[in-house]
Structure 1
Amino acid sequence: MPSINDISIGQTARLEREFTEEDVRVSKELTRDYSPVYDKDEQAWKKHYPKPIVPALLTEGLITQVISSKLPGIPCVLLQKDLVFYSPVHVGEVITAELVIIDINKERNWLTQKVTCYDVDGKEVIKGQVVIYVLDNSL
Protein backbone atom coordinates (compact mmCIF):
# COMPACT_ATOMS: atom_id res chain seq x y z
CA MET A 1 0.00 0.00 0.00
CA PRO A 2 1.32 3.49 -0.83
CA SER A 3 2.40 5.81 1.98
CA ILE A 4 2.99 9.51 2.54
CA ASN A 5 6.51 8.97 1.15
CA ASP A 6 4.96 8.30 -2.28
CA ILE A 7 3.36 11.76 -2.39
CA SER A 8 4.97 14.98 -3.60
CA ILE A 9 4.15 18.66 -3.57
CA GLY A 10 2.34 19.69 -6.71
CA GLN A 11 0.55 16.38 -7.25
CA THR A 12 -2.94 17.08 -8.55
CA ALA A 13 -6.14 15.07 -8.81
CA ARG A 14 -9.59 15.88 -10.21
CA LEU A 15 -13.06 14.41 -10.28
CA GLU A 16 -16.24 15.74 -11.78
CA ARG A 17 -19.83 15.08 -10.89
CA GLU A 18 -23.29 16.18 -11.93
CA PHE A 19 -25.55 16.59 -8.91
CA THR A 20 -29.11 15.35 -9.40
CA GLU A 21 -32.43 15.93 -7.66
CA GLU A 22 -32.10 12.41 -6.25
CA ASP A 23 -28.69 13.29 -4.76
CA VAL A 24 -30.28 16.29 -3.05
CA ARG A 25 -33.23 14.22 -1.81
CA VAL A 26 -30.94 11.60 -0.25
CA SER A 27 -28.71 14.28 1.27
CA LYS A 28 -31.73 16.01 2.85
CA GLU A 29 -32.89 12.73 4.36
CA LEU A 30 -29.47 11.83 5.75
CA THR A 31 -28.72 15.25 7.22
CA ARG A 32 -32.30 16.26 8.09
CA ASP A 33 -31.61 19.59 6.38
CA TYR A 34 -34.89 20.50 4.73
CA SER A 35 -34.12 24.08 3.75
CA PRO A 36 -36.48 25.34 1.03
CA VAL A 37 -33.52 26.45 -1.11
CA TYR A 38 -33.08 22.79 -2.15
CA ASP A 39 -36.68 22.36 -3.34
CA LYS A 40 -37.54 23.06 -6.97
CA ASP A 41 -41.20 23.63 -6.07
CA GLU A 42 -40.55 26.15 -3.30
CA GLN A 43 -41.05 29.81 -4.24
CA ALA A 44 -39.35 31.48 -1.24
CA TRP A 45 -35.78 31.12 -2.54
CA LYS A 46 -36.46 32.14 -6.14
CA LYS A 47 -35.80 35.81 -5.40
CA HIS A 48 -32.17 34.92 -4.62
CA TYR A 49 -31.61 31.68 -6.53
CA PRO A 50 -33.39 31.03 -9.82
CA LYS A 51 -32.83 27.29 -9.47
CA PRO A 52 -32.60 24.99 -6.43
CA ILE A 53 -29.14 24.71 -4.95
CA VAL A 54 -27.19 21.63 -3.94
CA PRO A 55 -26.49 21.34 -0.19
CA ALA A 56 -22.95 22.41 0.72
CA LEU A 57 -22.31 19.12 2.48
CA LEU A 58 -23.06 17.26 -0.75
CA THR A 59 -20.59 19.33 -2.76
CA GLU A 60 -18.02 18.81 0.00
CA GLY A 61 -18.55 15.09 -0.58
CA LEU A 62 -17.00 15.47 -4.03
CA ILE A 63 -13.89 16.91 -2.37
CA THR A 64 -13.62 14.03 0.09
CA GLN A 65 -14.17 11.59 -2.78
CA VAL A 66 -11.05 12.99 -4.48
CA ILE A 67 -9.13 12.57 -1.21
CA SER A 68 -10.23 8.99 -0.57
CA SER A 69 -10.08 7.69 -4.13
CA LYS A 70 -7.28 9.67 -5.80
CA LEU A 71 -5.09 11.95 -3.70
CA PRO A 72 -3.75 10.56 -1.56
CA GLY A 73 -6.08 7.62 -2.28
CA ILE A 74 -4.83 5.83 0.83
CA PRO A 75 -6.46 5.57 4.27
CA CYS A 76 -6.62 9.02 5.85
CA VAL A 77 -8.71 11.22 8.12
CA LEU A 78 -9.83 14.78 7.44
CA LEU A 79 -8.43 17.06 10.17
CA GLN A 80 -9.31 20.52 8.94
CA LYS A 81 -11.19 22.14 6.11
CA ASP A 82 -11.46 25.79 5.23
CA LEU A 83 -13.79 26.36 2.30
CA VAL A 84 -15.39 29.44 0.80
CA PHE A 85 -18.50 28.96 -1.33
CA TYR A 86 -18.30 31.70 -3.98
CA SER A 87 -21.34 30.61 -5.97
CA PRO A 88 -24.11 28.13 -5.37
CA VAL A 89 -24.02 24.78 -7.11
CA HIS A 90 -27.31 24.03 -8.85
CA VAL A 91 -28.95 20.70 -9.56
CA GLY A 92 -27.91 19.49 -13.02
CA GLU A 93 -24.59 21.34 -13.07
CA VAL A 94 -21.35 19.45 -13.58
CA ILE A 95 -18.78 20.43 -10.96
CA THR A 96 -15.08 19.54 -11.00
CA ALA A 97 -13.12 19.28 -7.76
CA GLU A 98 -9.37 19.76 -8.11
CA LEU A 99 -6.97 19.13 -5.23
CA VAL A 100 -3.26 19.98 -5.24
CA ILE A 101 -0.73 18.95 -2.59
CA ILE A 102 0.79 22.17 -1.23
CA ASP A 103 2.51 20.92 1.94
CA ILE A 104 3.72 17.61 3.38
CA ASN A 105 4.51 17.21 7.07
CA LYS A 106 6.05 13.74 7.32
CA GLU A 107 6.67 14.13 11.05
CA ARG A 108 2.92 14.32 11.69
CA ASN A 109 1.80 12.39 8.59
CA TRP A 110 -0.19 15.44 7.47
CA LEU A 111 -0.90 16.62 3.95
CA THR A 112 -2.26 20.05 3.08
CA GLN A 113 -4.17 20.34 -0.16
CA LYS A 114 -5.43 23.37 -2.04
CA VAL A 115 -9.05 22.86 -3.10
CA THR A 116 -10.72 24.42 -6.11
CA CYS A 117 -14.15 23.45 -7.44
CA TYR A 118 -15.38 24.93 -10.67
CA ASP A 119 -18.29 24.64 -13.07
CA VAL A 120 -18.19 23.75 -16.78
CA ASP A 121 -17.42 27.37 -17.66
CA GLY A 122 -14.34 27.33 -15.41
CA LYS A 123 -15.97 29.61 -12.83
CA GLU A 124 -14.75 28.90 -9.30
CA VAL A 125 -17.62 27.91 -7.04
CA ILE A 126 -15.63 26.68 -4.02
CA LYS A 127 -12.07 27.42 -2.95
CA GLY A 128 -10.04 26.60 0.13
CA GLN A 129 -7.79 23.99 1.64
CA VAL A 130 -7.89 20.79 3.66
CA VAL A 131 -5.44 19.14 6.01
CA ILE A 132 -5.53 15.36 6.23
CA TYR A 133 -3.83 12.81 8.43
CA VAL A 134 -2.45 9.90 6.44
CA LEU A 135 -2.79 6.68 8.42
CA ASP A 136 0.41 4.75 8.95
CA ASN A 137 0.08 1.57 6.92
CA SER A 138 2.49 -0.28 9.20
CA LEU A 139 -0.11 -0.51 11.99
Structure 2
Amino acid sequence: MMSNYTLTDLFVGQVARIQRTFTEEDVHLCNTLTREFNSVYKREENVWKPHFDGPIVPGLLSEGLITEVISTKLPGTACVLLQKEIIFCHPIYIGDTISAELQVIDINHERNWITQKVSCYNQNGKEVVKGQVVVFLLPNENNR
Protein backbone atom coordinates (compact mmCIF):
# COMPACT_ATOMS: atom_id res chain seq x y z
CA MET A 1 0.00 0.00 0.00
CA MET A 2 1.46 3.33 -1.09
CA SER A 3 1.57 6.18 1.42
CA ASN A 4 1.97 9.03 -1.08
CA TYR A 5 3.33 11.65 1.30
CA THR A 6 4.16 15.09 -0.03
CA LEU A 7 7.13 17.02 1.32
CA THR A 8 4.80 19.14 3.48
CA ASP A 9 3.22 16.00 5.00
CA LEU A 10 6.57 14.72 6.25
CA PHE A 11 8.08 15.54 9.63
CA VAL A 12 11.34 14.83 11.46
CA GLY A 13 10.90 11.71 13.57
CA GLN A 14 8.39 10.09 11.22
CA VAL A 15 8.96 6.31 10.97
CA ALA A 16 7.96 3.57 8.54
CA ARG A 17 8.87 -0.11 8.51
CA ILE A 18 8.41 -3.26 6.54
CA GLN A 19 9.29 -6.89 7.19
CA ARG A 20 10.34 -9.79 4.97
CA THR A 21 11.65 -13.32 5.34
CA PHE A 22 14.40 -14.13 2.84
CA THR A 23 14.29 -17.53 1.11
CA GLU A 24 16.66 -19.62 -0.99
CA GLU A 25 14.51 -18.69 -3.98
CA ASP A 26 15.07 -14.97 -3.27
CA VAL A 27 18.84 -15.55 -3.21
CA HIS A 28 18.71 -17.63 -6.40
CA LEU A 29 16.69 -14.97 -8.25
CA CYS A 30 19.02 -12.19 -7.05
CA ASN A 31 22.11 -14.16 -8.10
CA THR A 32 20.62 -14.93 -11.50
CA LEU A 33 19.65 -11.31 -12.14
CA THR A 34 22.98 -9.83 -10.98
CA ARG A 35 25.11 -12.73 -12.25
CA GLU A 36 26.84 -12.85 -8.89
CA PHE A 37 27.40 -16.52 -8.09
CA ASN A 38 29.57 -16.17 -4.98
CA SER A 39 29.72 -19.48 -3.12
CA VAL A 40 28.91 -17.81 0.25
CA TYR A 41 25.28 -17.83 -0.92
CA LYS A 42 25.20 -21.64 -1.36
CA ARG A 43 24.84 -24.53 1.03
CA GLU A 44 28.50 -25.60 0.66
CA GLU A 45 29.66 -25.60 4.30
CA ASN A 46 33.36 -25.65 3.49
CA VAL A 47 33.05 -22.18 1.94
CA TRP A 48 31.39 -20.18 4.72
CA LYS A 49 32.41 -22.09 7.86
CA PRO A 50 33.84 -21.01 10.34
CA HIS A 51 33.01 -17.38 9.44
CA PHE A 52 29.23 -17.73 9.11
CA ASP A 53 26.51 -20.00 10.50
CA GLY A 54 25.10 -20.76 7.07
CA PRO A 55 24.76 -19.38 3.56
CA ILE A 56 24.22 -15.63 3.65
CA VAL A 57 21.76 -13.40 1.83
CA PRO A 58 23.27 -10.91 -0.66
CA GLY A 59 23.39 -7.35 0.68
CA LEU A 60 21.49 -6.24 -2.39
CA LEU A 61 18.36 -7.97 -1.06
CA SER A 62 18.42 -6.09 2.23
CA GLU A 63 19.01 -2.87 0.28
CA GLY A 64 15.94 -3.78 -1.76
CA LEU A 65 13.93 -4.00 1.45
CA ILE A 66 15.11 -0.50 2.37
CA THR A 67 14.09 0.92 -1.02
CA GLU A 68 10.73 -0.85 -0.69
CA VAL A 69 10.07 1.21 2.45
CA ILE A 70 11.05 4.36 0.53
CA SER A 71 8.93 3.62 -2.51
CA THR A 72 5.81 2.32 -0.73
CA LYS A 73 5.73 3.98 2.69
CA LEU A 74 8.10 6.86 3.38
CA PRO A 75 7.67 8.92 1.30
CA GLY A 76 5.78 6.40 -0.86
CA THR A 77 5.63 8.81 -3.79
CA ALA A 78 7.71 9.49 -6.91
CA CYS A 79 11.27 9.93 -5.67
CA VAL A 80 14.90 9.16 -6.47
CA LEU A 81 17.50 7.72 -4.12
CA LEU A 82 20.40 10.21 -4.18
CA GLN A 83 22.74 8.80 -1.57
CA LYS A 84 23.03 5.77 0.67
CA GLU A 85 25.52 4.91 3.34
CA ILE A 86 24.94 1.35 4.50
CA ILE A 87 26.87 -0.75 6.99
CA PHE A 88 26.26 -4.49 7.13
CA CYS A 89 26.82 -5.12 10.86
CA HIS A 90 25.94 -8.81 10.95
CA PRO A 91 25.14 -11.40 8.28
CA ILE A 92 21.62 -12.10 7.14
CA TYR A 93 20.92 -15.80 6.66
CA ILE A 94 18.42 -17.59 4.47
CA GLY A 95 15.26 -17.90 6.56
CA ASP A 96 15.89 -14.73 8.57
CA THR A 97 12.99 -12.32 8.93
CA ILE A 98 14.28 -8.78 8.56
CA SER A 99 12.48 -5.62 9.67
CA ALA A 100 13.63 -2.49 7.85
CA GLU A 101 12.88 0.76 9.65
CA LEU A 102 13.42 4.24 8.22
CA GLN A 103 13.13 7.44 10.22
CA VAL A 104 13.09 10.96 8.79
CA ILE A 105 15.98 12.87 10.39
CA ASP A 106 16.12 15.95 8.10
CA ILE A 107 13.94 17.70 5.53
CA ASN A 108 15.44 20.14 3.03
CA HIS A 109 12.49 22.04 1.52
CA GLU A 110 14.69 24.03 -0.89
CA ARG A 111 16.02 20.90 -2.58
CA ASN A 112 13.03 18.57 -1.99
CA TRP A 113 15.33 16.19 -0.12
CA ILE A 114 14.65 14.06 2.92
CA THR A 115 17.34 12.30 4.91
CA GLN A 116 16.40 9.09 6.67
CA LYS A 117 18.14 6.93 9.25
CA VAL A 118 18.13 3.23 8.28
CA SER A 119 17.95 0.36 10.77
CA CYS A 120 17.35 -3.29 9.91
CA TYR A 121 16.87 -5.97 12.56
CA ASN A 122 16.59 -9.74 12.36
CA GLN A 123 13.92 -11.82 14.11
CA ASN A 124 16.08 -11.89 17.28
CA GLY A 125 16.26 -8.08 17.48
CA LYS A 126 19.90 -7.91 16.37
CA GLU A 127 20.73 -4.92 14.18
CA VAL A 128 22.08 -6.34 10.91
CA VAL A 129 22.14 -3.23 8.70
CA LYS A 130 22.36 0.46 9.59
CA GLY A 131 22.99 3.68 7.77
CA GLN A 132 21.40 6.67 6.13
CA VAL A 133 19.74 7.56 2.83
CA VAL A 134 18.95 10.84 1.08
CA VAL A 135 15.89 10.86 -1.15
CA PHE A 136 14.80 13.47 -3.69
CA LEU A 137 11.05 13.87 -3.98
CA LEU A 138 10.10 14.78 -7.53
CA PRO A 139 8.68 18.31 -7.53
CA ASN A 140 5.00 18.80 -8.13
CA GLU A 141 2.52 21.37 -6.95
CA ASN A 142 2.38 19.72 -3.48
CA ASN A 143 6.18 19.39 -3.02
CA ARG A 144 7.17 23.04 -3.41
1:36-95 Cα deviation digits (max 9, x unpaired): 000013521122112100000011000000000000001100000001111000000100
Tell me which stretches of 4 or more aligned residues in structure 1 moved more than 3 Å. none
Distance (Å, rounded) in 2 between the aligned partners of 1:35 and 1:48: 15
Q: Normalization by structure 1: what TM-score?
A: 0.95
- The residue that corresponds to 1:15 in the other structure is 18
Alignment-mate amino acid for residue 132 of structure 1:
V
Distance 2:26 2:109 in 1: 37
Which secondary structure does the structure 2 equivalent of 1:29 belong to?
A: helix
1:1-139 mapped onto 2 (5 Å cutoff): 2-41=5-44, 43-138=46-141
Q: Percent identity?
A: 56
User: In the alignment, is the contact (CA less than 8 A) between 1:36 and 1:42 conserved in 2?
Assistant: no
Give the Cα separation in 1 of the matches to 2:82 and 2:45. Answer: 36
Q: What 5-or-longer segments of structure 2 have no aligned partner?
A: none
- Residue 44 of structure 1: SS of its match in structure 2? helix
- SS of 1:108's equivalent in the other structure is coil
Report the secondary structure of 2:49's partner residue: helix
The AA in structure 1 aligned to 2:31 is K
Q: CA RMSD in A?
A: 1.4
Distance 1:65 1:2 in 2: 15
